[in-house]
């Protein structure tokens, strides 16, 4: 009995259920991105905005609504296009404006004469180098240059101010750099009083959690993407409704709950997830939380 249980763990619960890959991993893998109404609308409008080169886009969303996954999907889309030059910052933390500008110069692989040592340049020189690069790429080469910043709620005021300066580089009809900020709701609190930053936002979107229809569709999508070969409907309709009630449609919570439920399915040697199984997992988690608090 113990050997069988151990075997279940070492093989990976998902292969025992008939999957080729783990269906509900927590990584923001673009391959598992389901274009829910919320995500699809945000992404489509964002791509239009980037094409129009309007400057600054801000996407807000509560914890675990899918911002990083959407960033990855965006990169995946941009990678297919030769007329886009982009860089993504995953965790924006810079000691000074100089450091931030040097990081941009390096990450955009901006050519600088070998006699120049970046560390000896002041802020104005560094900004000039970036502006020259943006003019070359945008006006002469007709490319769109983009800076995408995830976890933008961590940006400090000085870096936000630098972004504002970069947005001042423009021609008569478009901005030379496109900036996309993706952040938790605190980002809004940070920028709301910065009038000259708020003024520059050309596209703003708040990602909401999914509705029940998209919750079901996301679960089905991930199951199919993971190469499910079972014959049965893996989650009953009642189980999905319960998952929606318990997670309120937050993608990270949906993922984590589905992951736990499928593991339990293997342990209990069952074939389909029903409402009772979902409730069992929720009650167990609640009991664990209460024990932790005591
Ligand atoms: N559209 C989607 N399709 C499929 N899975 C998704 C989708 N959006 C999010 N997920 C899944 O939900 C989980 C959380 O997503 P993600 O990390 O992108 O959220 P986040 O908004 O960046 O969270 P945080 O605020 O903590 O940074 C990930 O496992 C991801 O795979
Ligand atoms: Mg994230």
What tens digit of pLDDT does each residue of 238-286 get?
A: 999 999 999 999 999 999 999 999 999 999 999 899 999 999 999 988 8
- In 3D space, the residue among 180, 168, 173, 160 whose CA is nearest the CA of residue 47 turns out to be 180
Q: Which of 28, 76, 153 to mutate to test the pocket of ligand 1 (most atoms within 8 A of CB)?
A: 28
**Residue with CA nearest ligand 1 atom 30:** 28
Instruction: Report the nearest atom of ligand 1 relative to the CA of 65.
Output: 21
What ligand is nearest to the CA atom of residue 63?
1
- In 3D space, the residue among 187, 188, 227 whose CA is nearest the CA of residue 19 turns out to be 227
What ligand is nearest to the CA atom of residue 66?
1
What ligand is nearest to the CA atom of residue 255?
1
The model's confidence at residue 287, banded by pLDDT at 50, 70 and 90, is confident
Instruction: Report the nearest atom of ligand 1 relative to the CA of 28.
Output: 31
Tokens linked to 104: 């941009």
Ligand 1 pocket list (CB less than 6 A): 26, 28, 32-34, 36, 39, 61, 63-69, 184, 218, 251-252, 255
pLDDT: is 281 or 7 the higher one?
281
Distance CA 235, CA 278 (A): 10
In the predicted structure, residue 10 carries a pLDDT above the cut 60? no
Mean pLDDT of 205-230: 96
What ligand is nearest to the CA atom of residue 184?
1
Distance CA 251, CA 221 (A): 13
Give the position of tokens 């199919």.
Answer: 224
**Residue 109 CB coordination number (10 Å):** 9
Report how far ligand 2's centroid is from the alpha carbon of 96 (Å): 24
- In 3D space, the residue among 183, 197, 194, 191 whose CA is nearest the CA of residue 153 turns out to be 183
Instruction: Report the nearest atom of ligand 1 relative to the CA of 38.
Output: 1
Tell me the percentage of the chain whose pLDDT exceeds 90: 79
**Residue 79 CB coordination number (10 Å):** 11
In the predicted structure, residue 2 carries a pLDDT above the cut 60? no
Report how far ligand 1's centroid is from the alpha carbon of 123 (Å): 36
pLDDT at residue 3, rounded to an integer: 45
Distance CA 251, CA 269 (A): 27
Contact in structure between 46 and 57 (CB atoms under 8 Å)? yes
Mean pLDDT of 10-37: 89
When mean pLDDT is compared across 25-29, 143-147, 236-240, the lowest value belongs to: 25-29
Report how far ligand 2's centroid is from the alpha carbon of 150 (Å): 7
Report how far ligand 1's centroid is from the alpha carbon of 27 (Å): 8
Report how far ligand 2's centroid is from the alpha carbon of 128 (Å): 32
Domains, the chain, ordered by start: 2-27+210-293 (1.10.8), 37-207 (3.40.50.300)
In the predicted structure, residue 121 carries a pLDDT above the cut 50? yes
């Amino acid at each position: 009995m113990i050997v069988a249980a151990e075997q279940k763990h070492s093989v990976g619960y998902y292969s025992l259920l008939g999957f080729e890959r783990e269906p509900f991993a927590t990584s923001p893998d673009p391959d598992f991105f389901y274009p829910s109404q919320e995500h699809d609308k945000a992404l489509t409008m964002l791509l239009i905005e980037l094409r129009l080169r309007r400057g600054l886009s801000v996407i807000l969303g509560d914890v675990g609504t899918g911002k990083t996954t959407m960033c990855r999907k965006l990169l995946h889309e941009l990678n297919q296009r030769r007329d886009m030059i982009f860089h993504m910052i995953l965790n924006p933390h810079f000691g000074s404006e100089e450091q931030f500008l040097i990081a941009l110069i390096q990450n955009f692989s901006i050519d600088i004469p070998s006699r120049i040592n970046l560390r000896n340049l002041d802020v104005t020189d560094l900004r000039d180098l970036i502006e020259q690069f943006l003019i070359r790429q945008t006006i002469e080469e007709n490319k769109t240059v983009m800076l995408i910043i995830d976890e933008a709620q961590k940006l400090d005021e000085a870096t936000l101010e630098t972004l504002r300066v970069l947005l001042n580089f423009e021609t008569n009809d478009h901005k030379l750099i496109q900036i996309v900020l993706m952040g938790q709701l605190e980002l809004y609190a940070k920028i709301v009083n910065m009038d000259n930053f708020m003024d520059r936002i050309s596209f703003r979107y708040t990602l909401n959690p999914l509705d029940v229809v998209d919750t079901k569709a996301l679960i089905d999508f991930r199951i199919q993407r993971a190469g499910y070969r079972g014959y049965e409907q893996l989650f009953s309709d009642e189980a999905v409704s319960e998952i929606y009630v318990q997670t309120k449609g937050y993608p990270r919570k949906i993922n984590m709950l589905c992951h736990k439920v499928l593991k339990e399915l293997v342990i209990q040697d069952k074939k389909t997830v029903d409402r009772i199984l979902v409730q069992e997992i929720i009650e167990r988690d609640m009991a664990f939380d209460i024990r932790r608090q005591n």
